[in-house]
Structure 1
Amino acid sequence: MESYKKFGSFTMAYSIKADPHFSQFVHGAGSIAYQDVHGVRIFVGDPFCRAEDATPLVEAFIAETRRQRLSLVGMQCSMETARLFNGFGCDATHMGVETLILSDWSMKGKNVGRRIRKAFKSGLTISEARWDSDTTLAQQAEKISDSWRSTRKAKKALGLLLREPTFKDTPDERTFFAWLDHELVGYVTFEAMYENNQRIGWYANINRRDDSRNIAIFDAIVATALASFRIEPGFQSLSLGIAPLAGMHNTHGFSNRVVELITDTSFKFGNDGYNYKGIFQSKKGYWPKSFEQNPNQVEVKDTYCITSGIMPVNPVAKAFMGVGILPDGLMQTALFATKITAMGMWREFMDNSRFSPAPLWRALTT
């Protein structure tokens, strides 16, 4: 974990260093975390190295991937990493936006502020605790987690991009719990982000809650955790993670047009398969109305998907199978994508059309 403490300034740093399923490609004074899934080499986030060591590391990583005859897909990468890989012939397509709450953030004037105040008025209480502080805590949390999973559009755990709860105390993690009427209703585990051996922030990675309560459990936890984190020496930001496929800004000149078409279509019409728009709107509730007038409240970062080749549809599909967004098998994926897109297009048509099928149906069935 030494390189994590030096170079783990991005949100996925802790997860990919702590996850035993990730391998480490080491070259010179740096490393890149990756997994080989369905014949695709997938890496997440940025290289663990100094800026001056990044170019030879990326060059060696690409060369080794080609020697292994594997396709290459990178996810949730920064613009700096996108430019590095583009220098060796790869494309970088916009993958989504990450919202980071900065030290001057306040609820005033934010849509999320109303939700947070309402949650506290409902009697919600938030407390930070260790997992071993209560012998029943893990059991209660696991019940919340199982119930939460059953309500998700994507039933599979999103491996690679989101870490599953362990219900154990580990270094560089802190967990805040939400209680209502003395009952556990949610929790968020935050992972530390580092730079030059100094902790600079936290990432809200593991988020579980009882949605039947219809109150802003996650947002109330974030507000409470932020109040604790922001007084720590060196604090810079609390990351809410990415809103996948949101905020397309492929103006840098090296996106892959095929991947761009797929991601744009998925965001616009694929909400029945994955809650792209809902996640984006939830995180957008933290944004100020004017970034220019409130420059130290929120930072929004673009993230990128790295691919190689003109038509990387197959490796990208397999990568999303590995993540858990798409079902295993190319045929199953094609059928799933076609069904979800058709449903989304029909809903979009109905929402923007004066046509109503009800009179036609009544006429046909009379």
Structure 2
Amino acid sequence: MSDQILALDGIRSAAEGNFGFAERVGYLKQYGVHSQSFSTLQPGMQYFDMPGVGYVAYMRKWGGTFVLSDPVCATENFAVILEKFHTRFPNACYIQVSKPVVDFLHLRFGLFGTQFGSESRITLQDWSLRGKKKQILRTALNQAEKNGITVKERFSDDHTREISDAWIRTRKCKSKEIRFLIRPMEMDYRENERHFYAYQDGKAVGFIYFDPIYRNNEIISYVPNISRANADFRQGIFYTLMAHALEVFKAEGIPYLDLGLIPLSLDPATEHQESRPLKRLLHGVYEKGNFLYNFKGLEFTKSRFRGDTFKTYCCHRRTIPALEFLAMFKLTRLL
């Protein structure tokens, strides 16, 4: 890591730039391998641009700076752009970032890197509905068939807002859609989104929006960032939509399907760079905080697909970043 830091000296003179939107999309398609890279283009984001390298996406709240996902650049340039970004925003918090980002920020600046949750990825070549552990998926599909549920891919709006508003009223957070950690349903930039709708008696009763994940200008995966269902069909519609989309993507030769963030799904073991008090607090929120968000239900639902799981982290300066987390919850509209 020290050699990597020394190598920065020859690059620090690179000027910060202000990318045009098309230029930023170009970096996304080249380097947008993170499950939330597409979400960095959501409304309200601010950007730290570095010509020839990439960008960091962030939002601000109560004077705090909150970075979403890894920098959109080549992995070998994480240190380059994070060095300059941290110089500008030394008290920033980094949310849903990977271990290479954690390692640099911890070793270079002494930031904690505490697990924030897990993510899951399905290798589509190996995907099937077979196996005892996927029985719940098969049951959902059978029930959907008995109830006359069909799934179609279409891009036009089909009772989307009506379904979404009814769905939101059934959630723990009933006032507004979550943002930042989950991009808003309506975005100006929608290139390569995929929309799958479930229908009963010709009427849409649920849908999932999938966002593309890129590498070297090719789509390597999709992630279901927006999912809604009619309140009468809360059980099974997600599984039915997902199973259909998985088969479509597999047939197209897409390598992976990412399931996105599973918040507060934590490994009990504590890594050396993690804040032990914060890790204990997050464990407690997972166990006792279901009135805020359905942490356990989401983890159970995504675990049914038997993907390969890996950790995702938050980086922070203070041992317990209480004010920062409060600001982030306000930013995301969870509070």
Q: Could you tell me the TM-score, scaled by structure 1's length? A: 0.79
SS in 2 for 1:219: helix
Does 1:320 pair with 2:326? no
Pick from 79, 82, 85 the counterpart of residue 55 of structure 1.
79
The aligned counterpart of 1:162 is: 182
> For the residues of structure 2 that align with 1:62 and 1:167, how far apart are their CA atoms?
28
Matched with 2:93 is: 73
2:139 counterpart of 1:114: yes
Aligned pairs for 1:127-206 (under 5 A) are 127-131=152-156, 137-138=157-158, 140-155=159-174, 156-166=176-186, 170-206=190-226
Deviation larger for 248-257 or 303-312: 248-257
Greater CA drift, 42-51 or 160-169: 160-169
In 1, are the aligned partners of 2:32 and 2:73 still within 8 Å (CA)? no
1:34 shift after superposition: 0.6
1:20 aligns with 2:43: yes
Give the whole-Å Cα distance in 2 for the aligned partners of 1:316 and 1:8: 26
Q: Tell me, in whole angstroms, the C-alpha distance in 2 between the residues paired with 1:84 and 1:123.
A: 52
Alignment check: 8 A CA contact 1:174 1:189 kept: yes
What is the CA RMSD across the aligned residues, in angstroms? 1.8
**Helix, strand or coil: the match of 1:85?**
helix
Where does residue 243 of structure 1 map in the other structure? 262
Query: 5+ residue gaps in structure 2?
Result: 1-24
Give 1:120 shift. 2.3
4+ residue runs over 4 A deviation:
none
| 8 A Cα contact 1:27 1:60, kept in partner | no
Asked which structure has the greater CA Rg, the reply is 1
Shift of the alpha carbon at 1:118?
2.1
How far 1:122 sits from its partner (Å)?
Answer: 2.0
Q: Note if contact 2:172-2:293 (Cα within 8 Å) is conserved in structure 1.
A: yes
Contact 1:97 1:245 in 2 (8 A): yes
2:148 corresponds to: 123
1:277 aligns with 2:296: yes
Q: Percent same amino acid at aligned positions?
A: 28
Q: Does 1:212 align with 2:232?
A: yes
Change (3 A) 1:65 1:168: closer
TM-aligned CA deviation for residue 81 of structure 1: 1.7
Task: Determine which of 28, 42, 56 is the counterpart of 1:4.
Answer: 28
Deviation at 1:239, TM superposition (A): 1.6
Please give the per-residue CA displacement for 1:223-251, whole angstroms capped at 9, x wherever unaligned: 11111111224x22112222210133453
SS in 2 for 1:32: strand
- Corresponding residue of 1:286: 305
Letter in 1 for 2:333: G
**1:150 aligned partner, one-letter code:** R
AA aligned to 2:319 is I
Closer/same/farther in 2, CA of residues 168 and 129 from structure 1, 3 Å limit: farther
Instruction: Give deviations 1:305-347, integer Å, cap 9, x for gaps.
Output: 111123422112211221122x2xxxxxxxxxxxxxxxxxxxx
Cα drift, residue 284 of structure 1: 1.2
Residues matched between the structures, number: 304
Q: Which residue type is aligned with residue 217 of structure 1?
A: I
Which residue identity does 2:141 align to in structure 1? I
Residues 175, 167 of structure 1: alpha-carbon distance in 2 compared, 3 angstrom cutoff: farther
Q: Deviations over 1:185-232 (max 9, x none)?
A: 011111110001111010101101113125411111111111111122
State whether structure 2 residue 92 is matched by structure 1 residue 64: no
Partner Cα distance (2:269, 2:84) in 1:
27
Paired residues of 2:140 and 2:237 also in contact (CA < 8 A): no
CA contact (8 A) 1:34 1:42 kept: yes
Q: Which residue of 2 aligns with 1:355?
A: none
Rounded to whole Å, the distance in 2 between the matches of 1:3 and 1:249 is 36
Do 2:148 and 2:201's aligned partners in 1 also have CA atoms closer than 8 Å? yes
Structure 2 residue identity aligned to 1:262: L
CA distance 1:204–1:245, shift in 2 (3 Å): same
